């Protein structure tokens, strides 16, 4: 009996335990080919896999961990020696196939203080391939595929592999708990330095930007949100994406008006664009909040 598809954008939030129980029930009642998407962080994904393995004993559960750009997932699954005996297959790390794309840096960027915008000008080859091969997945594998992905990667599937995504039997959401969220935000803020950011490759920069955006989209206190927007602006400025950096600094001072570092770096970015009067005004605000 096919499971009822739900529009994930309209689903009401439910408690994490309830979400997990719904996820387990879906796995227990799924027989044969199906596709599930799970929105979670890599850390949450590891915990989820361990928990499922502990709670489900009558099915063969395997994991594919990807840590680099891939093009053909079908070929990877087809080469598994025990593919005919797998009931549930978790797939992690697919987001690695998206990091190198230029659109990733503004996937959840800010074109103004209030407006989020998305750019979908190019399509990663992986998504073209998986969209074209969905019937082969269904006909070849008697497996429940579970894709563990951060939010930005889910959006890639929705916009650039809609046929494959529409075959899902469900989408489940396991956000970071408040303690882990605070720890991750603190780690990003403490680790960020100009020297470190300047030495990142384009893919690593995109990965860091998306990591920050994922935390920002959760419910965190205004001070941490401001600091994360500052880090985002810092990364964008290192990449010489000055307009994007200014938008991020604008968000930083919106949440923490006295964040003098954001005002100062905002001034630097404005100066890089030749907008000197605005830059001076921004420097004045930095001095206002930190006279020394």
- Residue 269 is predicted with a pLDDT of 96
- Residue 229 is predicted with a pLDDT of 95
- Residue 281 is predicted with a pLDDT of 96
- Residue 100 is predicted with a pLDDT of 67
- Residue 162 is predicted with a pLDDT of 86
CA–CA distance, 3 with 202 (Å, rounded to integer): 41
- Residue 145 in contact with residue 177, Cβ under 8 Å? no
Using alpha carbons, list the distances in angstroms from residue 228 to 188, 224, 249. Answer: 8, 6, 10
- Residue 101 is predicted with a pLDDT of 63
Which has the closest alpha carbon to 131: 150, 170, 158? 158
- Residue 224 in contact with residue 185, Cβ under 8 Å? yes
First to last CA, the chain: 70
- Residue 4 is predicted with a pLDDT of 35
CA–CA distance, 162 with 230 (Å, rounded to integer): 34
| Domains (range + CATH), the chain | 8-174 (3.40.50.300), 178-289 (1.25.40.10)
The pTM of this model reads 0.72
Three-point CA angle 32, 34, 36, nearest 5°: 140
C-beta neighbour count of 64 within 10 angstroms: 16
Q: What is the pLDDT along the chain (292 residues), one digit of tens a residue?
A: 333 333 433 443 446 788 999 999 999 999 999 999 999 988 889 999 999 999 999 999 999 999 788 889 999 999 999 999 999 999 999 888 877 664 444 444 433 333 333 444 567 788 888 888 889 999 999 999 999 998 888 888 888 888 888 888 889 998 777 888 888 888 989 988 888 898 988 878 888 888 888 888 788 899 999 999 999 999 999 888 899 899 999 999 999 999 999 999 999 999 999 999 999 999 999 999 988 7
Helix (H, G, I), strand (E, B) or coil at 175: coil
């Amino acid at each position: 009996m096919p499971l009822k598809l739900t529009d994930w954008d309209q689903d009401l939030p439910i408690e994490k335990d309830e979400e997990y129980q719904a996820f387990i029930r879906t796995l227990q009642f799924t027989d044969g080919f199906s596709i599930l998407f799970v929105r979670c962080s890599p850390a949450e994904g590891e915990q989820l896999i361990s928990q499922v393995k502990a709670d489900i004993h009558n099915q063969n559960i395997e994991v594919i961990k990807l840590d680099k750009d891939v093009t053909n997932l079908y070929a990877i699954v087809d080469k598994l020696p025990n593919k005919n005996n797998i009931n549930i297959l978790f797939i992690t790390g697919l987001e690695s196939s998206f990091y190198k794309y230029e659109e990733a840096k503004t996937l959840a960027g800010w074109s103004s203080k209030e407006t989020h915008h998305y750019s979908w000008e190019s399509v990663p080859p992986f998504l073209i391939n998986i969209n074209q091969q969905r019937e082969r997945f269904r006909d070849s594998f008697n497996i429940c595929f579970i894709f563990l992905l951060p939010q930005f990667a889910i959006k890639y599937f929705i916009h650039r592999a809609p046929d494959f995504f529409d075959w899902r039997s469900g989408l489940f959401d396991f956000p970071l708990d408040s303690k882990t969220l605070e720890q991750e935000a603190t780690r990003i803020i403490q680790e960020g330095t100009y020297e470190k950011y300047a030495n990142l490759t384009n893919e690593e920069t995109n990965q860091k930007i998306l990591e920050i955006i994922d935390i920002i989209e959760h419910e965190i206190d205004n001070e941490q949100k401001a600091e994360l927007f500052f880090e985002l602006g810092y990364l964008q400025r290192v990449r010489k994406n000055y307009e994007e950096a200014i938008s991020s600094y604008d968000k930083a001072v919106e949440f923490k008006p006295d964040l003098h570092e954001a005002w100062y770096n905002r001034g630097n970015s404005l100066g890089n664009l030749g907008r000197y009067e605005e830059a001076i005004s921004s420097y004045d605000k930095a001095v206002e909040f930190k006279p020394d």
